[in-house]
Amino acid sequence: MQDLLNSVRIIGDPVLRQKSRPLVFPDDTPYITGLVSTMGKVLEVAEGLGLAAPQVGESVRLFIATPDYLDELNGHVVFINPEIHPYGESEKREEGCLSVPGIYEMLIRPSRVSIKAQDVRGNSFSLDVGGLAARLMQHENDHLDGILFVDKLSPVKRKLLKGRLRKLREGGRVD
């Protein structure tokens, strides 16, 4: 259990800042199967809402959502090579991240997203979601481009968090 939790990369780890590579079907299929299985276990133990591959050290374009969202996401919890288009009104919601433990902040993002992605077999699907699912998709997709939610906070907020973020980057914990 603890090993799984410890496999989550924390801010300061260079893999969280890389632009991830697209996955290729069918060449990457066995790798994807293993990765999705590992990530599912990590997400469950960490009790997170979503997890992107770079958060477990794999720089590839894949993220998962917790099965709690199965209905809202039309049965999809694995998103491979996603293309995300946020739209609609701006909405303020609290965000947190397993890679930035202990920090939760309000952040403004568009309220809806349309998504195109591939499933574990490489089949393409499209979705259009709002609410928390839309927020989750945007947050996880950012990870694939090396972006963390704290990057999107106002300069004032970032300044206030500077000490705590530095502590995390240096291997400490903030609680």
The residues that touch Zn ion, with contacts defined as CB under 5 A, are: 97
The DSSP bridge partners found for residue 52 are 63
Q: Which CB sits closer to Zn ion, 112 or 140? A: 140
Q: Which CB sits closer to Zn ion, 129 or 144? A: 144
User: What is d(CA 97, CA 39) in angstroms, rounded to the nearest whole number?
Assistant: 15
Considering the candidates 47, 72, 140, 170, report the single residue annotated as catalytic: 140
User: To the nearest whole angstrom, how small is the minimum distance from the Cβ of residue 48 to Zn ion?
Assistant: 8
Exposed, middle or buried by CB within 10 Å (0-12, 13-18, 19+), for 65?
buried
Q: Which CB sits closer to Zn ion, 122 or 164? A: 164
Instruction: Tell me the residue type at 137.
Output: M
User: To the nearest whole angstrom, how small is the minimum distance from the Cβ of residue 30 to Zn ion?
Assistant: 26
Q: Is 44 in the active site?
A: no
Q: Which CB sits closer to Zn ion, 32 or 95? A: 95
User: To the nearest whole angstrom, how small is the minimum distance from the Cβ of residue 147 to Zn ion?
Assistant: 10
Contacts of 26 (CB under 8 A, 6+ apart): 122
Closest residue to Zn ion: CB criterion: 97
The distance of Cα 141 from the centroid of its chain, to the nearest Å, equals 6
User: To the nearest whole angstrom, how small is the minimum distance from the Cβ of residue 3 to Zn ion?
Assistant: 20
The distance of Cα 16 from the centroid of its chain, to the nearest Å, equals 10
Q: Alpha helices, DSSP H only, in the chain?
A: 2-6, 29-46, 131-143, 155-169
Which are the catalytic amino acids? 140
